[in-house]
Amino acid sequence: MTQYKVRRAIQLVSFIGWIMLLFFIIQGVLPVTHAFCPYASVCFGTMAAHGIVVYPITSIIGLLIAITTMFIGRKFCGYICFLGTLQEYIYRLRKGKSRFIHTIPDRLHRILSVVKYLVLTGTIIAAWFSVQFIYMKFCPVVSLGHPQRITIGGAILLAVIGVGGFFIERFWCRYLCPYGALMNLFQYLGRLLKIKRITIFRNVQNSIQCPNCPNYCPMHIDLGTREYITDPNCIHCMNCVRQCTKDSTRKSTCIYRDNG
């Protein structure tokens, strides 16, 4: 079984698990979504500085997931995350080859990519002053887990994520997800500490430099002529491997190695 198929299998199992979890939360069998969302490490973990501890286990797990990105990258996003997988399924509703060509201008992409860091910063500040409920009024995880109490802002954001995800693959993941921003910051920290991180290695000498790889990248990463795909936004989806048009290159170009 290829790495791509392994990933798809893990995705499906995780997605079914999240659906069941949301069902039990909606039915009131399980507590609020915060008790299971890794972003609680920011929404509530920041409050620990004031001696207020809420959802400690979830916060610790969320922080550990973010820390692991220094070593293995954002595999959580590509394999486990419910919203990430949901975004992929929404995007597959599009028909034709156009859904595989990411035509959003690079300049606009770079500008929008900053938004998730602003959301992360705003959440940290809100949590520090114990007013994180402001973010929760918009949080898509809260909206999905508690549809009976969804706010107008939450409904609007879900609509934006749904429509945006239909036209731009992983729209939420690329531009809005604050947890993705947190994981990216940990990867930058790992780079400063010279920690070797598992990345996708490309044998550039064998590559024919066709545009196939970047066209299929759901995170709009410019693969260029780099040997190691060190962009922190890489979710290890293996699309670049699967869509390589050169068999010999596919086998020797895109494989996992550390970036040291």
pLDDT, residue 205, reads 72
CA-derived radius of gyration, the chain: 19
Task: Work out the number of other CB atoms within 10 angstroms of the CB of residue 106.
Answer: 9
**Whole-angstrom distance, CA of residue 149 vs CA of residue 33:** 12
Nearest to 32 by CA among 127, 145, 168, 130: 145
Give 195-226 pLDDT, tens digit per residue: 989 888 776 677 676 767 777 889 998 877 67
**Whole-angstrom distance, CA of residue 187 vs CA of residue 177:** 16
pLDDT surpasses 60 at 75: yes
Residue 86 backbone phi and psi in degrees, to 5: -60, -40
Q: What amino acid occupies position 50? A: H
**Whole-angstrom distance, CA of residue 193 vs CA of residue 231:** 16
Q: Of residues 80 and 253, which shows the higher confidence score?
A: 80
Give 14-30 pLDDT, tens digit per residue: 999 999 999 999 999 98
Cβ–Cβ under 8 Å, residues 222 and 173: no
> Per CATH, is 195-258 categorized as 2.40.160?
no
Nearest to 32 by CA among 69, 52, 61, 58: 58
**Whole-angstrom distance, CA of residue 101 vs CA of residue 108:** 16
What's the per-residue H, E or C state across the chain? CCHHHHHHHHHHHHHHHHHHHHHHHHCCCCCCHHHCCCCHHHHCHHHHHHCCCCCHHHHHHHHHHHHHHHHHCCHHHHHHCHHHHHHHHHHCCCCCHHHHCCCCCHHHHHHHCCHHHHHHHHHHHHHHCCCCHHHHCCCHHHHHHCHHHCCHHHHHHHHHHHHHHHHCCCHHHHHCCHHHHHHHHHHHHHHHCCCCCEEEECCCCCCCCCCHHHHHCCCCCCCCCCCEECCCCCCCCCHHHHCCCCHHHHHHHCEEEECC
Report, as an integer, the average pLDDT of 55-73. 95
**Whole-angstrom distance, CA of residue 108 vs CA of residue 123:** 24
What share of the chain in percent tops pLDDT 90? 60
Give 100-132 pLDDT, tens digit per residue: 555 688 899 999 999 999 999 999 999 999 898
* CATH 3.30.70 domain range(s) in the chain: 195-258
pLDDT surpasses 90 at 88: yes
pLDDT, residue 103, reads 67
Strand partners, 94: none
Strands 228-229 and 255-258: unpaired
